[in-house]
Amino acid sequence: MCKLINFFPIFLTTCSCYTLVFISLERRRALVHSMRPQISVQQALKALPFIWLGSVVVGIPTLIEFSVVPLTTDSSDINSGNYLNVSQPNNNSVERHLHCGTNNFPRTLGMANCFLVTLFAFVIPLTWISINYVQLVVFVNKRCRTVEPQLPSRSDVGAPRVEIFVLQPTNTHLYKHREHLVKMFIVMVVAFATCWSPFYIIYIYTVGLK
């Protein structure tokens, strides 16, 4: 139970981040590369085991790092929030407890695991999501700038030909919604960073105190 309690937060957060990366990849392919074969529901379902497998790989070092060891100490020094009391002899101030933590695990390896988890579960997914949505914003901006020449009317025959560039209806529609799309993409990236940053900041801070 000790190992699972510490493993599942890493596994679930990584799984969530990788899922958001996959969604951003699907959105980029649907808009930027609309002429290419799109990701189907069956392909998305096939991607789920790989997302879970990658999350398990990221969490395996944490599964190895934590363990339970018996601890005997004076009852006055016990912090009930960190120890589980399993026996308390009568007329004796010494209690036997079980401690869940990084017992006998090198601190250097613990810090390395913290760095790798933060890198693969937060930094790389955030970078990938940002790149995908930046490409989407650039694509939408280019589409909004697309113009077509307006053909001259009959009354213009014989007059100097002047090409007037006007926005087509499709581009006008894109232009109206460009600001909304850009804001939505920015909000998604900021929300991702804001929601997960506290977890990894506390995680790094806690490992640094050990």
Q: What is the per-residue pLDDT across 38-97, written as a single tens digit (0 to 9) for each?
A: 888 888 899 999 999 999 999 999 988 888 877 655 544 444 444 444 444 545 555 567
Which of 120, 125, 143 has the alpha carbon at shortest distance from 189?
125
**Residue 71 covered by a domain:** no
Mean pLDDT of 127-139: 89
Q: Is there a domain that residue 109 lies in?
A: yes
Q: Which residue carries 């801070």 as its tokens?
A: 205
Our CA angle for 205, 8, 48, nearest 5°, is: 120
Rounded to whole angstroms, what are the CA distances from 79 to 3, 73, 128, 204?
A: 20, 11, 42, 22
Residue 89 lies in a domain: no
Q: Is residue 141 part of a domain?
A: yes
66: nearest Cα among 113, 130, 27 = 113
Structural domain total, the chain: 1
| DSSP reduced 3-state for 90 | coil
Element of type H or E holding 139: helix 124-144
